[in-house]
C-alpha cells in the first residue's frame, strides 16, 4: 500500500507542459531506492514532522513545502551524498521547470548541494537529461520575464557547469530575445536615468568579474546597437535594444562615457 503524501504535491507539470517529457525522463533515469538519510542536519534544522515523513511519499509526490524545508536545513559544505541528491533531483528539476524556487534563499543555490554540472558524476543517460535541462531551462529563462536571467546563469555555474559554456549559449541566442530580457532585467526596476546591470550577490570569486565583463563587452554592445539601428526591427524592440546598449556603454571600461 502506497502511503499518501502528508502535503499536496504542488508544482507538478501537466502533460502539455514544454518540460513534461524531459522531467518524465529524469524520473526514469534517476530512479533509485529511497535513501535512509536526508543528507542534511538531522533533529535540528528541519521541521520534525516533515523530517520524520520526508521519504514516505513517492519522490514524485514530495510536496513543495517538504522540499523547501529540506533546503532550509544545513548540510556539509562538501555537499550531500550522491544517492540522496540523485533521488531528489528529478523532483527538484520539476519544481524549477514549473517556475517555483526549490528553496527560500533563491534560485541560485538550487543545484549546488552536489556537483551537478560535472558529467563525471553521472551515467551517459543521466548526463543527457541534465545537459538537456540546462540548455532548455536557460533558453526558457531568456525568453521569460520572471526573476533575473543572471540568477539562472549563476545557478548553473554554482552547480558546476563551466561559465564559458553558459556565456557561449547566451552569446549565440537571438539578439531580439537577449535585448528584451536584458531590458527587463536592467531597465524596469530602477527609475528612468538610473538603470543598471543586475548581478546577483551569489557570484563567487573571479566569476563575478567574468560575468560583468560579458555584460559590458563591446561584442554585446555591438549586438544591441546593431539591433537598435536595424530599419526592419519593430520600433519598440529597437528602443529597448538601444536602452540596453546605453547601460552597457555607461558601465564599460572601453567607453568614454562617465559611469
pLDDT tens digits in sequence order for the chain, 259 residues long? 334 444 556 899 999 999 999 999 999 999 999 998 888 988 788 899 999 999 999 999 999 999 999 999 988 888 899 999 999 999 999 999 999 999 988 999 999 999 999 999 999 999 999 999 999 999 999 998 788 999 999 999 999 999 999 999 999 999 999 999 999 999 987 756 668 999 999 999 999 999 999 999 999 999 999 999 998 999 999 999 999 999 999 998 876 665 5
Alpha-helical (H) ranges within the chain are 20-29, 48-53, 64-71, 82-98, 124-142, 149-158, 163-171, 175-187, 207-215, 218-228, 235-251
Q: Residue 192: how many CB atoms within 10 A of its CB?
A: 7
Choose among 130, 87, 98: nearest CA to 19.
Answer: 98
Q: Is 247 exposed, middle or buried (CB count within 10 Å of its CB: 0-12, 13-18, 19+)?
A: buried
Q: How far apart are CA 55 and CA 51, in angstroms?
A: 8
Choose among 80, 86, 96, 46: nearest CA to 66.
Answer: 46
Within 8 A by CB and 6+ apart from 127, the residues are 119
Q: Model-level pTM greater than 0.85?
A: yes
Helix, coil or strand: residue 240: helix
Within 8 A by CB and 6+ apart from 249, the residues are 221, 255, 257
Q: Are 30 and 8 in contact (CB under 8 A)?
A: no
Backbone phi, psi, residue 129, to 5°: -65, -45
- Side-chain-facing half-sphere of 166: CA atoms under 13 Å: 27
Q: How far apart are CA 230 and CA 70, in angstroms?
A: 50
Q: At what angle do helices 82-98 and 20-29 cross, to 10 degrees?
A: 170
Amino acid at each position: 500500500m502506497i502511503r499518501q503524501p502528508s502535503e499536496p504535491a504542488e508544482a507538478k507539470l501537466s502533460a502539455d507542459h514544454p518540460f513534461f517529457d524531459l522531467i518524465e525522463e529524469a524520473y526514469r533515469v534517476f530512479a533509485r531506492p529511497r535513501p535512509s538519510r536526508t543528507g542534511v542536519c538531522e533533529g535540528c534544522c528541519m521541521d520534525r514532522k516533515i523530517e520524520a515523513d520526508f521519504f514516505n511519499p513517492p519522490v514524485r509526490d514530495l510536496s513543495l513545502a517538504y522540499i523547501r524545508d529540506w533546503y532550509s536545513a544545513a548540510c556539509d559544505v562538501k555537499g550531500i551524498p550522491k544517492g540522496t541528491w540523485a533521488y531528489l533531483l528529478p523532483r527538484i528539476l520539476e519544481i524549477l521547470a514549473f517556475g517555483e524556487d526549490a528553496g527560500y534563499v533563491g534560485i541560485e543555490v538550487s543545484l549546488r548541494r552536489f556537483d551537478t554540472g560535472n558529467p563525471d558524476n553521472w551515467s551517459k543517460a543521466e548526463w543527457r537529461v541534465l545537459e538537456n535541462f540546462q540548455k532548455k531551462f536557460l533558453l526558457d529563462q531568456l525568453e521569460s520575464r520572471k526573476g533575473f536571467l543572471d540568477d539562472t546563469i549563476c545557478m548553473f555555474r554554482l552547480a558546476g557547469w563551466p561559465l564559458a559554456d553558459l556565456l557561449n549559449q547566451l552569446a549565440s541566442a537571438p539578439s531580439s530575445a537577449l535585448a528584451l530580457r536584458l531590458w527587463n532585467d536592467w531597465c524596469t526596476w530602477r527609475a528612468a536615468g538610473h538603470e543598471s546591470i543586475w548581478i546577483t550577490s551569489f557570484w563567487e570569486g573571479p566569476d563575478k568579474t567574468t560575468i560583468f565583463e560579458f555584460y559590458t563587452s563591446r561584442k554585446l554592445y555591438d549586438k544591441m546597437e546593431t539591433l537598435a539601428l536595424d530599419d526592419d526591427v519593430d520600433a519598440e524592440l529597437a528602443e529597448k535594444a538601444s536602452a540596453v546598449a546605453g547601460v552597457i556603454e555607461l558601465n564599460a571600461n572601453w567607453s568614454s562615457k562617465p559611469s
